[in-house]
């Protein structure tokens, strides 16, 4: 039962209360106005302008090429479509890792020009100074641990992370550090379900899982995957709620057929 569905505007504080009340948090990605409107109308609590836009919107193999200007453009489009959900935007690769001043500058641009309600950044201890600097400026920060796609060339693979105890211990320590630094939430990507449970129980801020089992405080999926627009991407954790790839290619094929046969437009569809 949702006790927070009546809330008119979801805030970081709402998410904190949802964890406290044991109500699961829902998040989906969106990158454009029309999708954001539908996702918000469907009732998600948070919308993520993920740098997965590099993959699903631009066709890049990794998330690394997308720029801050491009992410800001996506954020502006999404924010115009949202009434209720909390809108969080990824800071892309290279815009926060080098030094805290640059990180703050990037986060400020995302808030001021993009209109996001907070930013998400990948990593733990190694970026702690950047996180602190952004939070000290009054900008909500969502952390991201486990499989962090901006580090794909370091990992060399998109396989499940932290299966070994040493990496699991570091992940728990990083999660606790992110809470201490003031992050309002943490995405846990592609880690064993029992580890995600341990992390979620060891901190008071909500965890949002993707491929991290049912015991996270919430779940996130990439919109295009969840509505089945992506045929080539089928990880175990993904549940497809629609098969839009088939629906859309079928509709396009029918349109092509109708136009070729001069069956579209008909009399009613003409002036």
Long-range contacts of 243-250 (CB under 8 A, 24+ apart): none
- DSSP letters, 73-133, are HHHHHHHTT-SSSEEEEEPPTTSSSS-HHHHHHHHHHHHHTT--SEEE---SGGGHHHHHH
> Is residue 217 marked as binding?
no
The least CB distance from residue 257 to ligand KIV, in Å, is 36
> Is residue 98 marked as binding?
no
Closest to ligand KIV by CB, 48 vs 119, is 48
> Is residue 122 marked as binding?
yes
> Is residue 40 marked as binding?
no
DSSP code for 265: S
| Chain residues in the site for ligand KIV (CB under 6 A) | 29, 48, 50-52, 90, 187, 189, 210, 220, 222
Distance, in Å, from the CA atom of 240 to the CA atom of 237, rounded to the nearest integer, reads 10
Active-site residue 189, yes or no? yes
The least CB distance from residue 251 to ligand KIV, in Å, is 26
Q: 176 burial class (0-12, 13-18, 19+ CB within 10 angstroms)?
A: middle
Closest to ligand KIV by CB, 52 vs 95, is 52
Give the active site residue among 105, 165, 189, 267. 189
Closest to ligand KIV by CB, 130 vs 148, is 148
Q: Which residues are catalytic?
A: 189
Q: Write out the binding residues.
A: 51-52, 90, 120, 122
Q: Write out the binding residues for 3-methyl-2-oxobutanoate.
A: 51-52, 90, 120
């Amino acid at each position: 039962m949702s006790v927070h569905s009546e809330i008119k505007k979801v805030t970081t504080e709402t998410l904190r209360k949802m964890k406290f009340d044991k109500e699961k948090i829902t998040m989906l990605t969106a990158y454009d106005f029309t999708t954001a409107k539908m996702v918000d109308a469907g009732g998600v609590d948070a919308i993520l302008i993920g740098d997965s836009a590099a993959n699903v919107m631009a066709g890049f193999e990794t998330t690394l090429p997308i720029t801050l200007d491009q992410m800001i453009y996506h954020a502006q489009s999404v924010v115009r479509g949202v009434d209720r959900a909390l809108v969080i935007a990824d800071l892309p690769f290279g815009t926060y890792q080098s030094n805290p001043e640059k990180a703050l500058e990037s986060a400020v641009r995302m808030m001021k020009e993009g209109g996001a309600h907070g930013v998400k950044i990948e990593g733990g201890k190694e970026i702690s100074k950047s996180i602190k600097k952004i939070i000290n400026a009054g900008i909500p920060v969502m952390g991201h641990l486990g499989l962090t796609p901006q580090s794909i060339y370091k990992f060399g693979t998109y396989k499940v992370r932290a299966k070994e105890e040493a990496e699991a211990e570091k992940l728990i320590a990083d999660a606790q550090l992110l809470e201490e630094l003031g992050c309002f939430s943490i995405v846990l990507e592609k880690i064993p379900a029992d580890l995600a449970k341990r992390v979620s129980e060891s901190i008071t801020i909500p965890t949002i899982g993707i491929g991290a089992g049912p015991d996270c405080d919430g779940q996130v999926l990439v919109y295009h995957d969840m509505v089945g627009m992506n045929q080539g991407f089928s990880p175990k954790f993904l549940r497809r709620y629609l098969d839009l790839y088939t629906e859309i290619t079928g509709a396009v094929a029918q349109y092509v057929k109708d136009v070729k046969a001069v069956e579209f437009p008909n009399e009613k569809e003409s002036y």
